[in-house]
Amino acid sequence: MRILLEGTLKARYGRSTVEVNVGEKSTLVEAISVFSKELVSPDGDLRFDLLYLVNGSDADALDGGLTQVNDDDIITIIPIFHGGRRHRGNEVPEKPRISRSPSLTDP
């Protein structure tokens, strides 16, 4: 089975492709754990901050961590990051200021 590592996982593991042998019947979680237990959650399921694709299909649309995989499959693991501004503590973001031009209907 080939596991493709995307994004920051490439740098973390020092490679973008990993080959593992899982036999004919394994679950997705078992197969990933052969390479690294860090890529699954401590409770033995898929992590919420990673997207797992099995032959290009989202594992969540299949059977999640229980999806059956074999040595012919390709697993892609992609870190999910969310952008946006971070606020610390009780800091409340400043509301955007809207400049208003006078319109024809204003008195």
C-beta separation of 33 from 18 below 8 A = no
**Domain 2-79, architecture per CATH:** Roll (3.10)
Q: Is pLDDT larger for residue 105 or for residue 45?
A: 45
CB neighbours of residue 100 within 10 Å: 7
Predicted TM-score (pTM) of this structure: 0.73
Average pLDDT of the chain, as a whole number:
83
Kindly state the helix (H) or strand (E) to which residue 75 belongs, with its residue range.
strand 74-79
pLDDT of amino acid 25: 84
Q: Give residue-wise pLDDT tens across range 33-50.
A: 999 999 999 988 999 899
Q: Is the pLDDT of residue 101 over 80?
A: no
Q: Give residue-wise pLDDT tens across range 47-71.
A: 989 999 999 999 999 999 999 999 9
